[in-house]
Amino acid sequence: MKVSWDRPVKVNNFLTTLNITLIASRNLMKMEARAGEAIKKISTASSNKAAIDAYEKEME
């Protein structure tokens, strides 16, 4: 997962606009890593299902 160095600043600027407590850069990067893993699992499952559906449709 590509991490931009200015992302924590942009996120915290957005949170400031919404009047929400800021997030430390280290914690934000940890959350991004966990989210990236979850997104990867979901996309892999979705791709596998699409491949199976395409195969079954082709075999009909």
When pLDDT is averaged across residues 18-46 and rounded to a whole number, the result is: 84
The whole-model pTM stands at 0.50
Average pLDDT on 44-56 reads: 94
Write the DSSP string, the chain.
----TTHHHHHHHHHHHTT-----HHHHHHHHHHHHHHHHHHHHHHHHHHHHHHHHHHH-
pLDDT of residue 1: 43
The residue extents of the domains of the chain are 7-59
Distance between CA atoms of residues 48 and 60, nearest Å: 19
